[in-house]
Amino acid sequence: MWDYLQHLTYWDWLAFGTALLVLEIFGAGGYLLWIGIAALAVAATCFVVPVPWELQYLLFGVLAILTAVFWWRYQRAAGREPQGPGLNRRGSELIGRQFALHDAIVGGRGKIRVADSLWLVSGPDLPAGTLVRVSGQDGALLLVEKA
């Protein structure tokens, strides 16, 4: 076995990298992806230039760590994107905007059309077509007042 490990070719690294990528497909969660890419990079290097076995293992270790750190930093930076104040409050971006009533407000309830959606509104009784301003939100119900 020791003799085999001291005489690895690019085919061995290619097989190892492919096996890691196949295992990644079965749900490793990204952990084997970067190690597999490092093994494939070593295979490409050994194909172009004959590399002694010590350097192959060193190159594989360094590339595996570098690719993992690169991905970790990328994921960490992507996770820091600011979440808007309207996260999980879909209608909050409508506050302050004006719309015409689609259905009259009767008994405190009516509807406005926003793009291709109808929103349930609550406010003073007003006829259809009246311009209203969204003043707040209570869950999926928009609070309106006459503009």
Closest CA to 70 of 40, 33, 95, 42: 33
Q: Which among 79, 114, 135 is the end of a domain?
A: 79
pTM of the shown model: 0.51
- What is the DSSP track for 66-78? HHHHHHHHHHHHH
Q: Give the CB-side neighbour count of residue 85, counting CA atoms within 13 A.
A: 4
The count of structural domains within the chain is 2
pLDDT for residue 85 = 60
> Are 9 and 61 members of one domain?
yes
Q: What is the pLDDT of residues 67-126, one digit of tens each?
A: 989 888 888 887 665 556 656 667 888 999 999 999 999 999 999 999 888 999 999 999
Residue 35 CB-density burial (10 A; 0-12 exposed, 13-18 middle, 19+ buried): buried
Burial class, 28, CB count within 10 angstroms (exposed 0-12 / middle 13-18 / buried 19+): middle
Q: What is the pLDDT of residue 56?
A: 93
Give pLDDT, residue 80: 62
Domain check: are 74 and 119 in the same one?
no
Q: Which long-range contacts (CB under 8 A, 24 or more apart) does 111-120 make?
A: 112/142, 112/144, 119/91, 119/94
Whether 84 maps to a domain, the answer reads: no
User: Residue 37 domain-assigned?
Assistant: yes
CA distances from 5 to 8, 15, 41, 52 (A): 6, 14, 18, 11
Give the per-residue pLDDT at 108. 92
Summarised one tens digit per residue, pLDDT across range 44-67 is 999 999 889 899 999 999 999 999
106 in any annotated domain: yes
Statement to judge: residues 48 and 16 lie in one domain: yes
Which domain range does residue 6 map to? 2-79
Token pair of 108, please? 């405190």
What is the amino acid identity at position 37? I
| pLDDT at 112 (0 to 100) | 95
* Top-confidence residue, 40 or 76: 40
pLDDT reading at 30 higher than 80: no
User: 105 with 64, same domain?
Assistant: no
Same domain, residue pair 102 and 125: yes
Residues 51 and 107 in one domain: no
Q: What's residue 132's pLDDT?
A: 96
Is 75 in the same domain as 104? no
Is the pLDDT confidence value at 28 over 90? no
Q: What CATH number did the domain enclosing 112 receive? A: 2.40.50.140
Residue 34 corresponds to which amino acid? W
Q: What is the pLDDT of residues 129-145, one digit of tens each?
A: 999 999 999 888 999 99
Is residue 15 scored above 70 in pLDDT? yes
